[in-house]
Structure 1
Amino acid sequence: MKPNEDIQADNVERFFADLDGLRLQQSDQDYLAGFRAFEHQIETDRLIRTSESLFLFNHSPTGSGKTISWLKTALDSKMKVITVYPTNALVIDQKKQVDRTIEKYGYDPRKYHVQAITSDLLAEEKMLYPDETGLHKGQLLNRVIRKGRGRGLILLTNPDILTLALKNAYYEHNIREAIRSVDMVVVDEFHLASVKQRDMLLFMMHEMSNDKRSRLSKFVFLSATPDHQIVYRARRVGLNAVVLDDKSSPLSSSEGHPVLPRLSLEIRCGAIYRTYELIKDNLDYFVDLCSRPRLDGKRAKTVFILDGIYEVDEIFNALRDALAGMTVERVDGLHPASPEKLKDFDVLVSNSSVEVGIDFNVDRLVFSGYSKSKFLQRIGRLRSKPSDEVCEAVCFVPEVLYDHLKGLAAKRGNLKLTRKEMAEQLGKVMESGLDLSSYSKMYSPMEAYLYLKARIKGGTWRDELGEEHHEKGMPESIQGEEWIRTLTLIEKHFLDREIDGQMYDWLDSESWQLKEGLLSYRGSRFQALMFDTTDDRLKLYDLMYLLRRGDVEFISPQKFALRLRNAFKGDYDAELMPRYESMKRFAAGYCWYHGTMGDQIRKVLFKGDSSEHHKKIMFNSADHARKPRMINGFKVEADPNIPTLSHLNDTLTDYEIFARLIDQSGSYLKAKFNLGDFFYLYPYSGMRSVAFGHDALYIDCLIREEHARGR
């Protein structure tokens, strides 16, 4: 009998699969004291040491030590390295890992400068210079890099900060040159980057390595999920692209070090954003799963990874009430991870916030896997177990996959799969992802052009106070040569033609109109600055979630600031005001948040407030002729109504956001273009929809591509 088989609700359909673990062969070659290295670690070390120029793609599996593969070489040679991680939590976690590695293997910490950089940490860095007013992020980042003079440097940051610095968004000419002075850039979890993000990361890395004035020539991309298209492009444009493939073997039929454990995988049918209902309907089963000790008698650590934050809310509350005496924690966008949470929990309820990177112990896993990438990413949280241990996992999958795997189990008598076989089965029935190859031809050349123009020609910019500044470009005597070099790279990466005068003029005019939408790494969205009464903290959070699910009270910015001051009294100036001042420029609205509304969901509709808004959003244009633009004048309606919604609309209408209007509804467009569940389109009056941020660019590509095919 499988675990828990006697505790389940009636009519719960499920079946079990035996999913094999993974091993990797270890080498006896000298590496680190007391450390037997894997082949990919030894090969990474050799390639970094011996290659003059290198674009290394390491596709070794989750849990196989990809971090130490580059870090050892960097420490041995006192290299200057910028490492890029997809989340701030991972930036901070990996900084601790670097410090531990330096201590554990006997490196002298005085010979290295190791620093994590996020927006919040840059604000703390600014406090080191109290006598210098007006210091901005670019200058601070430049100073951090200079701390590595005469010793090794490991600077850990997120891709937003790196790309914005290179694109001159921090208005510090020298920062780009400081980045070009390091030895290596490492990009972790590269498969999580979107097509826009991958295109620009590879292009900017190529441009820097191609520049004779740049010292930077080595780049390492870490990802357990291969991206064959980006590797193909790297080779096509002439880069020294080296791939280290996954050399793992099944745990049960090979020798070597165990990397991922064998799983008893319970598979259930579900639907995205509705998984919490299925768990609550069968709550006794999952309470028993969490309560049952491990075979050694110790308490098991059980992790739930769901999709919507309201799912986390529902399951966290249900399990906290049912598991008296156990430590039940939650991690999501409103409740960030902390070392204490990840160390002390018995049960952790989360969403995508914990599916990558941060290492913590997990014994049992309950997760939703409604796409191939999510399934494989989340199942990788179970790792670092003895070779004879079998871990338990429960997975909710879409009906098409459930039926496919159940049919396979019926045909074979029981379902035993290797990790490779499971990935193959997922690929047979789950969508491989939206084809956005047209984006690389339409918008990536514009983004690349903006990046080059800022560096070569310079420009004029205004700070938050409206003061005008002039950014110098390169000397005119070398601008022509630099344009020839770099425009050739745009041709190689994105275009199938030469950039003539007409094409250059088009790039110049079109890219300027799209500058704000192309500049950011993650894109823009409506956010509200809220005071969360559930934990008395000030937060920026997604406005659409608050409108649809939140028990919220919107107020004017003036009353919001006054209410904060009254709530915190004497502590306001020192503790809260600096945070409020740094966050308010990102806010489209202000609210007091009292938690969720339970099962109730509001309908939210965007509309325009003026003829000027309709002009900017190209309301009367044909769908294929519209273009994404920076637009203000949005207002929202909610059903059921929020009594204080007028206060939101007063601020929302002045907020500019990158947007694109589409004539069809979101549900129609999702079905038509097979957009998937994580492509966000919002209702707009008149049965239309609107996309924001990078989604505005992506949907524009699809509509234009469809129109071109129909002509």
Structure 2
Amino acid sequence: MSNYSILLKPVYSQTVSTPEGLKLPGNWSLSWHQVETFKALQDPNIEVIFNTAMTGDGKSLAAFLSAMNNRTYTLAMYPTNELVRDQEKQVQGYKAQFQPKYDPQIHRLTAAILEDYVDTGKLPSKLEGLDNISTLYEILLTNPDLFHYIHNFYYLRGKIDNPDRLFRRIDERYKLFIYDEFHIFSSPQIASVINTILLIKNTANDPKKFLFLSATPNKLLQGFLEKAGITPKIINPVDVGAYKFDGDTENQGWRQISQPINLTFPQSLEPNLRSSYEWLEENAEKVILKFFQDYPNSKGAIILNSIAAVKKLLPKFKAIFEPRWQVRENTGLTGETEKRNSVAEADLLLGTSTIDVGVDFKINFLVFEAADAGNFIQRFGRIGRHEGFETYQAYALIPNFLVARLFEEQSHPLQENETYDRITFTNAIRNSWIDRNEFERYPKRWGGIQSAYIYSKLQGNPHMKEKYPDVAKKFGTDIQKALEISIKQMNGQVYRCQSEEKTEIIDEARSFRGSSQLDCAIYDLTNPDDPEVDRFKMYNLPGILSNFIFELWDKESFMEKAKKTGVTTKRFEKALCYLKLKDFREVREDWHFYYPGNIRELAKTSKVQVLKDLEICQPHGYGIQQISDAVSRRKLVCFISDRDRNYLRATLRLPMHFQLYPVTNEPENRGSWYSIAFGQDALLLETLTWHWKPKDDEGWIC
């Protein structure tokens, strides 16, 4: 048997009567969780709300009911720009249907949009841009990165501006702050959110609401809030029986939110980078094309972990499917125009994580990889959200040992050809997967750096002391309880880094998702249909070295061409280097980092370092020496381990996209390997391995 298949029952969500004072369009009815969320947002005793309704059950509507009915100025944050774009359409749709009397203005804001706004308006800085935008729009859709930097005193003009110059304006205007799909983030972002919530709590004139929307809530975040004395309101339909899974809908009060889905698990996939790619190559015609031939009105998506895999598969699927069915792409390297159009226009969409988080697909066919249980549930949730198709079919491309746990081992939870409800199935997936590392020590080790910086601004600035009496004491008390840190010890940590001229480490700890130390400016020629303006992008060097054929370009020529095209160039100014991406590699290129110094002693310290003189060793590639020179000149925040990276990944349960690379001080001898992580990943890795003893055998190979 080459596959296991099961059937997932449809899902029905309980609807309830509309609360008094809440107006709905036409014959609408609300699900239980939507009403409970609306009630919680009106309750003055509730600060933080977690809505954990299933994917496809209308959590976004629950979030914006208050804005559509009660003039609640709302700032909503989404982890990807693609989801910001998708939600902008959703919220505009709510406005058209609810027709609120105050006619809220809705705006989408990303880093690129902000740069264009500043450049077009000839404003002196992003400060003025954010200041203007915050006064113009009642509903602002953005990302948590911008929100973090506003509340960590970025964008200010040194001593000219008071620390609350910008965040006060934002916090006074908006009453509800929404964090959507926050489960995809790790402990650094959780620490940031705790710092931000406690800053707002202790400086805002009136109470604010924080709403977290996620089908897979984060226990770490909940724990920190409770330690700070904030008990979140948990709205979970599963706990109150607000879902059912049978097809008897004669009884009123239930709305179908998911169709029945056939789910197939191929058995033969080895746990390596090429297995899914090879399965798709082999089954492109006999499985995927055949499904579209049998059900010609189908819409489908293939969600993979690797941009390179999508790039390589795209022309193969185009050759098979077109012109009858349109095949499109949507990845981190896809131009903005294609991203904007592809979800709506594609019959078969090939994409990566840009489309697996929250985007509302109307599809009945799905093939997907998954990195962990949460990622599996998230991606599987893209299918079956809309009626109108004859059948719904998904293929889960997960490694054979996981399939064995689900179907073959002694305590296996699933049986071939059986039917399951979504809750039983979700629990089976969670219990069969080894959870990824949540880096629980990070907030206490590094997240407190943000806390200490905020505290210093509150305590040491005369304006802040006058405007917010006792705020430093209140914030300090709250954050020390929440993260279980000592502000005094955090200040000592900052002082040591400054005295050792390692301020880059402090900058890394204060960032939201980490800095872009190895990001390159690229002119992308891999998609011939991209408009010229969409070819200018940023992408990380390791991904380029592994997967793309490229050509070195000088900064002056790159910038000149970008300006002539009408592209705002500020984001390219600090790029590591400037490249033309010409094509993708059929086989991943082998390369590694080289450090000419005493790498053994660096690994023994078990500390985050700031290093120069790192080099790149790659057997092929035009311009590799110039790129290596650029890397060697840059001071890089990194952590070096004397363990092989495969050992570290397996032993520490590192997330799939954790950036970990081979490094050696013997460029001609490939038998002696160390591992190196950069930026925020370096800080994360240190929290897991600082207590390890150095290996005695330096020639050890995993």
- Same fold judged by TM-score > 0.5? yes
On the 8 A contact 2:195/2:450 being kept in 1, the answer is no
Alpha-carbon distance, 1:79 to partner: 1.9
Q: Deviations over 1:511-559 (max 9, x none)?
A: 8663211122111341221212233512211211211111111233245
Instruction: Name the residue aligned to 1:159.
Output: 144
Q: Deviations over 1:481-510 (max 9, x none)?
A: 3332222122211117x65x5665345545
Question: Match of 1:282, SS?
Answer: helix
Alignment partner of 1:516 is 2:507: yes
On the 8 A contact 1:54/1:219 being kept in 2, the answer is yes
What amino acid maps onto 1:41 in structure 2? Answer: Q
Alpha-carbon distance, 1:80 to partner: 1.9
Identity percentage of aligned residues: 20
Alignment partner of 1:575 is 2:569: no
Q: Distance in 2 between matches of 1:396 and 1:502?
A: 47
Instruction: Name the residue aligned to 1:17.
Output: 6
On the 8 A contact 1:370/1:396 being kept in 2, the answer is no
Instruction: Name the residue aligned to 1:278.
Output: 279
Alpha-carbon distance, 1:585 to partner: 2.3
Instruction: Name the residue aligned to 1:602.
Output: 589
On the 8 A contact 1:279/1:286 being kept in 2, the answer is no
On the 8 A contact 1:401/1:426 being kept in 2, the answer is no
Alignment partner of 1:381 is 2:382: yes
Instruction: Name the residue aligned to 1:464.
Output: none
Alpha-carbon distance, 1:277 to partner: 0.8
Alignment partner of 1:400 is 2:398: no
Distance 1:364 1:166, change over 3 A: same
Alignment partner of 1:85 is 2:74: no
Q: Deviations over 1:459-490 (max 9, x none)?
A: xxxxxxxxxxxxxx635567893332222122
Alignment partner of 1:637 is 2:612: no
What amino acid maps onto 2:538 in structure 1? Answer: L
On the 8 A contact 1:168/1:455 being kept in 2, the answer is no
Q: Deviations over 1:396-431 (max 9, x none)?
A: 112222112332789856332221112222222211
Alpha-carbon distance, 1:246 to partner: 3.0
Alpha-carbon distance, 1:200 to partner: 1.7
Instruction: Name the residue aligned to 2:311.
Output: 313
Q: Distance in 1 between matches of 2:43 and 2:472?
A: 31
Distance 1:45 1:583, change over 3 A: same
Alpha-carbon distance, 1:291 to partner: 2.5
Distance 1:502 1:540, change over 3 A: closer
Distance 1:61 1:113, change over 3 A: same
| Structure 1 unaligned spans of 5+ | 1-11, 459-472, 565-571
Question: Match of 2:512, SS?
Answer: coil
What amino acid maps onto 1:159 in structure 2? Answer: P
What amino acid maps onto 1:666 in structure 2? Answer: R
Q: Deviations over 1:544-603 (max 9, x none)?
A: 1211111111233245456x4xxxxxxx64424x43x323224111112111121x2211
Alignment partner of 1:117 is 2:100: no
Instruction: Name the residue aligned to 1:492.
Output: 481
Distance 1:69 1:289, change over 3 A: same
What amino acid maps onto 1:292 in structure 2? Answer: Q
On the 8 A contact 1:190/1:221 being kept in 2, the answer is yes
Instruction: Name the residue aligned to 1:444.
Output: 447
Question: Match of 2:397, SS?
Answer: strand
* TM-score where L is the length of structure 1: 0.85
Question: Match of 1:400, SS?
Answer: helix
**1:72-221 superposed matches below 5 A:** 72-108=65-101, 111-127=103-119, 129-130=121-122, 132=123, 134=124, 136-148=125-137, 153-171=138-156, 173=163, 174-181=165-172, 182-211=174-203, 213-221=204-212
Larger CA deviation: 348-357 vs 584-593:
584-593
Distance 1:287 1:265, change over 3 A: closer
On the 8 A contact 1:189/1:222 being kept in 2, the answer is yes
What amino acid maps onto 1:635 in structure 2? Answer: E
Instruction: Name the residue aligned to 1:418.
Output: 421
Instruction: Name the residue aligned to 2:668.
Output: none
Instruction: Name the residue aligned to 2:330.
Output: 331
Alpha-carbon distance, 1:179 to partner: 2.3
Instruction: Name the residue aligned to 1:38.
Output: 31
Q: Distance in 2 between matches of 1:142 and 1:561?
A: 28
Larger CA deviation: 369-378 vs 445-454:
445-454
What amino acid maps onto 2:329 in structure 1? Answer: R
Of the three residues 42, 48, 68, the one matched with 2:41 is 48
What amino acid maps onto 1:690 in structure 2? Answer: I
Instruction: Name the residue aligned to 1:653.
Output: 632
Question: Match of 2:378, SS?
Answer: helix
| RMSD value, Cα | 2.7
What amino acid maps onto 1:226 in structure 2? Answer: P
Of the three residues 696, 699, 707, the one matched with 2:685 is 699
Alpha-carbon distance, 1:83 to partner: 0.7
Alpha-carbon distance, 1:674 to partner: 2.9
Q: Deviations over 1:629-660 (max 9, x none)?
A: 44443321112x21321221233333343322
Q: Distance in 1 between matches of 2:185 and 2:201?
A: 21
Distance 1:548 1:85, change over 3 A: same
Alpha-carbon distance, 1:455 to partner: 4.8
Q: Deviations over 1:212-237 (max 9, x none)?
A: x4335211011011223322332232
Q: Distance in 2 between matches of 1:116 and 1:68?
A: 17
Question: Match of 2:508, SS?
Answer: helix
Alpha-carbon distance, 1:253 to partner: 5.8
The size of the alignment, in residue pairs, is 650
On the 8 A contact 1:303/1:364 being kept in 2, the answer is yes
What amino acid maps onto 1:623 in structure 2? Answer: A
What amino acid maps onto 1:314 in structure 2? Answer: K
Alignment partner of 1:236 is 2:235: no
Q: Distance in 2 between matches of 1:111 and 1:343?
A: 27
Question: Match of 2:571, SS?
Answer: helix
Q: Distance in 2 between matches of 1:78 and 1:650?
A: 56
Q: Distance in 1 between matches of 2:349 and 2:565?
A: 29
Q: Deviations over 1:254-291 (max 9, x none)?
A: 64211122111111132353201112123322343453
Question: Match of 1:361, SS?
Answer: coil
Q: Distance in 1 between matches of 2:385 and 2:591?
A: 45
Of the three residues 58, 66, 74, the one matched with 2:51 is 58
Q: Distance in 1 between matches of 2:226 and 2:658?
A: 30
Larger CA deviation: 178-187 vs 233-242:
233-242
Alignment partner of 1:505 is 2:503: no
Question: Match of 2:630, SS?
Answer: helix
Instruction: Name the residue aligned to 2:460.
Output: 457
Q: Distance in 1 between matches of 2:522 and 2:491?
A: 45
Alignment partner of 1:430 is 2:430: no
Question: Match of 2:437, SS?
Answer: coil
Alpha-carbon distance, 1:299 to partner: 1.8
Q: Deviations over 1:344-394 (max 9, x none)?
A: 211111111110122231111111134211210111001333499641111
Larger CA deviation: 59-68 vs 19-28:
19-28
Of the three residues 543, 546, 550, the one matched with 1:545 is 543
Q: Distance in 1 between matches of 2:420 and 2:320?
A: 35
Of the three residues 238, 245, 252, the one matched with 1:251 is 245
Q: Distance in 2 between matches of 1:706 and 1:665?
A: 14
Q: Distance in 1 between matches of 2:585 and 2:369?
A: 23
On the 8 A contact 2:179/2:211 being kept in 1, the answer is yes
Instruction: Name the residue aligned to 2:659.
Output: 680
On the 8 A contact 2:371/2:655 being kept in 1, the answer is no
What amino acid maps onto 1:697 in structure 2? Answer: L
